[in-house]
Amino acid sequence: MKNGHNLIKLEVRSHPRYLRLIRNATYDIAMICGFTEDEAKDLRLVIDEACTNVIKHSYQYDYSKPIILNFFLYDDRFEMLIEDCGMKVRPSQIRSREIDNVKPGGLGVYIIKKLTDIMEYDPTGKDGPRLRLVKYTKKR
């Protein structure tokens, strides 16, 4: 299966009730793309963490804003591009805390980084910030 073009697009509002839909869709897409069940579950968690951060940080819990998810499959990698039109921050501000200094928050970015190969936050998108997440496929 070789595809360089935009595979799938999912647009929802920034309401937590859509997280489950987003997770299930991501899992299905990852399975279609040939990832193993475990890898698909990892990507399901990654997208949840990324969208939760959009709701919390970018939209400050405003549940009525758009979240646009784009899924691309290339020969060597799977990409997820998460677009929103909320608050932009400096990329350096998207960072996880020290993992061994246990605190209630600050685990989302850590999980995303741990389970993907590239995490790139770009605040300069036309409509708002975008988070680009890349996972290389096994065949690499």
Partner 1 sequence: MEINSREENGVNVIILDGEVDISSTDLIRGKFKKLIDEKKKKIVVDLANVPYIDSSGLGLFVETMQEMGKYGGELKLAGLTDDVKKVFELTRLTNFFSIFAEEKEAIESFK
Ligand X SMILES: Nc1ncnc2c1ncn2[C@@H]1O[C@H](COP(=O)(O)OP(=O)(O)O)[C@@H](O)[C@H]1O
CA pair distance 45, 39, nearest whole angstrom: 10
Q: Which of residues 45-84 bind partner 1 (CB under 8 A)?
A: 45, 48-49, 52, 55-56
Binding status of residue 18 toward its own copies by CB under 8 A: yes
Residue with tokens 């997280």: 19
Tokens representing residue 95 in the block = 């960072």
Q: Which residues have a Cβ under 8 Å from the Cβ of 20 and sit 6 or more positions away?
A: none
Q: Which of residues 47-106 bind ligand X (CB under 6 A)?
A: 53-54, 56-58, 87, 89, 93-96, 105-106
**Other residues' Cβ atoms within 10 Å of the Cβ of residue 61:** 9
* Nearest CB to ligand X, comparing residues 4 and 105: 105
Residues found near partner 1 in the complex (CB under 8 A): 16-17, 19-20, 23, 41, 45, 48-49, 52, 55-56, 99-100, 102-105, 107-108, 110-111, 114-115
